[in-house]
């Protein structure tokens, strides 16, 4: 079975540019999560969706960050304008419906470098 | 919300059991204990979770003390591919914004 698919795997861009990260969750999963990982702060939850609806975006660092989930099989995380401090590995994860204690399945991440 | 305390690093000989401890002394009755691991340059991988009882799956065993204040993840026969950072997490069911990964334990499996 295909896991969570993220693209691109690596992104290098200049400060001020718009960055769009993409995620395809596992088919049948109704929860989708976006995380950011840095050496300083570890793994942080940015936002999560349930049935394509954003449930909690309290982890989104500022208005430059936005996330959408137009359908059950696709989500984007956008940074506009990007800044060097946004450099990190961004992970997408999904989990299946059910009791709420299910495991989250992570993609391999997008390594973002803002110059 | 309960936080966890784990050793920074541990070594284990290949083929031996790896026992990774986790302290969660402030855990509440409705919080589960989860274990994930992250191999270098990959996303975190789910290992196992439990509430009160000990759990076992094809990857590992989870031993939770009777008072639930600590737990141990056991990899019965560690291999070099088990070298990773292991995260112990406690969270209330459906409380996704409280899924706090912490610093984890770097397990080094040596030949």
Average pLDDT, integer, range B19-23: 97
pLDDT tens readout for residues B23-47? 999 998 888 999 999 998 899 999 9
- Distances from the Cα of B59 to the Cαs of A70, B22, B37, B85, in angstroms? 35, 18, 11, 15
3-state secondary structure A47-76: EEEECCEEEECCCCCCCCEEEEEEECCEEE
Q: Is B32 on the interface with A (CB under 8 A)?
A: yes
Check residue A99 and give its pLDDT.
Answer: 62
Check residue A1 and give its pLDDT.
Answer: 63
Check residue A103 and give its pLDDT.
Answer: 83
Q: Are B89 and B4 in contact (CB under 8 A)?
A: yes
Give the confidence band of B101 by pLDDT, cuts at 50, 70, 90: confident
Is B102 a residue whose pLDDT tops 80? yes
Q: Is A56 on the interface with B (CB under 8 A)?
A: yes
Check residue A51 and give its pLDDT.
Answer: 94
How far is it, in rounded angstroms, from Cα A91 to Cα B111? Answer: 31
Nearest to B93 among A42, A100, A105 (CB): A100
Residues in chain A with pLDDT < 50? none
Give the confidence band of B2 by pLDDT, cuts at 50, 70, 90: low
Average pLDDT, integer, range B71-88: 97
Check residue A45 and give its pLDDT.
Answer: 92
Check residue A62 and give its pLDDT.
Answer: 86
Q: Which residue would you say has higher pLDDT here, B98 or B91? A: B91
The reply to whether residue A4 touches residue B99, judged by beta carbons under 8 angstroms, is no
- Distances from the Cα of B82 to the Cαs of B74, B77, B101, in angstroms? 12, 9, 19
- Distances from the Cα of B74 to the Cαs of A94, B6, B56, B77, in angstroms? 26, 14, 9, 9
Check residue A101 and give its pLDDT.
Answer: 67
Nearest to A108 among B34, B43, B97 (CB): B43
Q: Is A109 on the interface with B (CB under 8 A)?
A: yes
Q: Is A82 on the interface with B (CB under 8 A)?
A: no
Check residue A41 and give its pLDDT.
Answer: 87
Average pLDDT, integer, range B72-83: 97
Q: Of A36, A8, A38, A43, which is closest to residue A23 (Cα–Cα)?
A: A8
Q: Is A25 on the interface with B (CB under 8 A)?
A: no
Q: Which residues of chain B have a CB within 8 Å of the CB of A38?
A: none
Check residue B17 and give its pLDDT.
Answer: 97
Q: Which residues contact A105 (CB under 8 A, 6 or more apart)?
A: A3, A4, A26, A29, A93, A94, A95, B46
Check residue B95 and give its pLDDT.
Answer: 75
């Amino acid at each position: 079975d295909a896991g969570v698919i993220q693209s691109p795997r690596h992104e290098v861009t200049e400060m001020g540019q718009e960055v769009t990260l993409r995620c395809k969750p596992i088919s049948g999963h109704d929860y989708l999560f976006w995380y950011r990982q840095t050496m300083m702060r570890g793994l942080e939850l940015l936002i999560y969706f349930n049935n394509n609806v954003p449930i909690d975006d309290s982890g989104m660092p500022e208005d430059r960050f936005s996330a959408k989930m137009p359908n059950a099989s696709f989500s984007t995380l956008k940074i506009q304008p990007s800044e060097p401090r946004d450099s990190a590995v961004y992970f997408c994860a999904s989990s299946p419906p059910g009791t709420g204690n299910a495991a989250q399945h992570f993609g391999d991440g997008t390594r973002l470098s803002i110059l | 919300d309960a936080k966890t305390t784990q050793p920074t690093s541990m070594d284990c000989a290949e083929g031996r059991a790896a026992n990774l401890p986790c302290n969660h002394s402030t855990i509440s009755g409705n919080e589960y204990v989860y274990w994930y691991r992250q191999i270098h340059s990959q996303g975190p991988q789910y290992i196992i979770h439990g509430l009160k009882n000990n759990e076992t799956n094809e990857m590992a065993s989870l031993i939770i003390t009777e008072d639930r204040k600590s737990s141990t993840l056991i990899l019965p026969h560690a291999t070099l591919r088990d070298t990773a950072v292991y995260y112990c997490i406690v969270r209330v069911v459906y409380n996704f914004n409280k899924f706090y990964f912490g610093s984890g334990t770097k397990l080094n499996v040596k030949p």
